[in-house]
Amino acid sequence: MPTISINLKEGTIEKPQEVIAGIDLGTTNSLVAFMKDGQPVCVQDSAGKSTLVPSVVHFSGIGDVTVGDAAKEMLETDPANTIYSVKRLMGKSFRDVAGMKGYFGYQIIDDDTESLVKIRVKDRFYTPLELSALILKELKRRVESELNMEVSRAVITVPAYFNDNQRQATRDAGKLAGLDVLRIVNEPTAAALAYGIGNASQADKTDVETVAVYDLGGGTFDISILRIEDGIFEVLSTNGDTFLGGDDLDHVLIEHILGQLHLDGSALHADKAFGQQIRLFAENAKKILSERDLFEGTLKEKPVVVTRADFERLIRPLIQRTLDCCQNAMRDAGFTVDDIEKVIMVGGSTRVPAVKQAVAAFFRRPVFDSLNPDEVVALGAAVQADILAGNQQDLLLLDITPLSLGIETVGGLMDVIIPRNSKIPTRAGRQYTTSVDGQKNLKVSIFQGERDLVEHNRKLGEFILRGIPPMPAGLPKIDIRFVLNADGILLVQAKELRSNLEQQIEIRPTYGISEEEMGMMLLDSIQNAQTDMTVRGLLEARNEANNIMLGGEKFLKQNGDILSEEEQATTNALLKRLREAAEGQDKDIIHAAIEDLNTYTTPLAHRALDKTVREAMQGKKVL
């Protein structure tokens, strides 16, 4: 597919001249890199001291937003308005993060629904996507300052285990930051590219390499087994733990330090500022103990002493958990350690000597760690960007789909199923349900484009899935699957899984869009990203409010006998307030009304559940 370059300032399409950035959007730190004189380099800060941008966002009382080192300094003094580790929340629902709220110093809104998680900062509600976009904007600003030119295209890396929702959220964050995201690349693939592994010009083009990428970052661990043949990278298996990383190494140190101070974990919850202070203190101790045998410091005017031997003893179970994941990944790939030819170390936490030694012993071979483990993924992203720019011919770039493909959902929103730049052939799917009780038919409308509302995209076709058995709203399970073959022919299938009812449509390639029209659609999506995000946020808030109002009305009707007149009146008043908010234009007011309603009715719902359980168990014995 020809590469299309967009000049955001002029609003024109032209032959590509600008740099394509490689971005590692990390849990703890983020980096941006580009190709310079044929080699990937990471952009340093203005002082030339560090390439790391802390993935931290701070909101001041007057509405100013800071990102990076300046924001990190506010973790101790203003933890409620300082957001960190947002990557852990990317593409997650409220239920996914139910056990995580105690980890964060800021407020995560959890109403026990399947809606995407939101973070409350003062009277505003942000999604991880919006917060990630702020970090990406800072990375974009940094590379533009370094090059003294506009950078509008990028390759962004994600963990290999990221699902479709998380990958799409990363793409959308890039678009909101003013970036045309050409490719989402798996982090282990990027790491291998940074080391030049898979470059067919280096060796016999028939060589097949089997590589393990051990990635222990700030918030997550994953191990990936890659097969690389003639420049084609294939992830054979991946395993890991989304809640195991440098933060967890810090946590065991925190507990050890609390013991020396004769305190327990309750001190962290009682004083959020102290919680952030000791977290940063432990992080510093970890770094020092990775280079020396002894750490000495002062906290709460009391001395703290930790030896490297103490540290290694404390983290040994965590290291073993990573090795267990390595064993599982090799089992899934059908390999043993003897089949692994190279082991690449990625992530700042691999600087800990005990980690490096354990991994080398497990795989029975020296590890690849000559590149900075913090930078290796961003460097690989820059190499991938160079491939997309057509500057490297030895690595195979498979054909890709030029524009996103998806369907229309409630409110006229575009739900992307196959993102643009996905390699083809490919297939992807998602499950949907009905929005009305007893709904028998479901219209499936297929669209192509990059805007959040289908009215701004191009309609490719539609069909109706008829004869769905009448069921309450939300109960049917309808699997919609897109299959895009190597010729660009799209097959869309819809199947109701409970009744096996099925329908499909075939759409022919290219869809009649010229390269210029395609470029204008991409330009349009980037220029209107902020507006689209605002409209999408409002429509999603309204949809959530409507679902909650329906549930609230049913709850009152079914449980009026156990509610007092005051409880019924208060619930009705909160429902009325939510209804009025949903008719307005401010998503944050809607979210605030939802939160108030959920906070009040949650104890009532527990009471109703207890009653239902008692009635169900009446006259029965529990053995």
Q: Which of 24, 241, 283, 567 is catalytic?
A: 24
Cα 86 to the chain's mean position, in Å? 8
Sheet holding 442-448, edge to edge: 413-418, 405-409, 442-448, 458-465
**Alpha helices (H) in 389-462, listed in sequence order:** none
Q: Which amino acid is at 201?
A: S
CB 34 within 8 A of CB 21: yes
215 is catalytic: yes
87 is catalytic: yes
* Closest by CA position to 348, among listed 277, 283, 255: 283
How crowded is the C-beta side of 528, counted as CA atoms within 13 Å?
A: 16
CB 161 within 8 A of CB 222: yes
CB 142 within 8 A of CB 368: no
Phi, psi of 369 (to 5 degrees): -145, 25
Cα 428 to the chain's mean position, in Å? 18
Q: Looking at 283-331, which runs of residues are DSSP E strands?
A: 294-299, 302-307
Q: Which of 111, 180, 215, 544 is catalytic?
A: 215
* Closest by CA position to 327, among listed 237, 246, 215: 237
> Which two tokens mark 458?
């191009």
CB 312 within 8 A of CB 305: no
Residue 1 CA: distances (Å) to CA of 168, 402, 411, 503, 525: 21, 8, 33, 31, 20
Q: Which of 76, 78, 187, 567 is catalytic?
A: 187
187 is catalytic: yes
Q: Which of 87, 92, 118, 495 is catalytic?
A: 87
Q: Which amino acid is at 20?
A: I
The rounded distance, in Å, linking the Cα atoms of 253 and 311 is 7
Q: Which residues are catalytic?
A: 24, 87, 187, 215
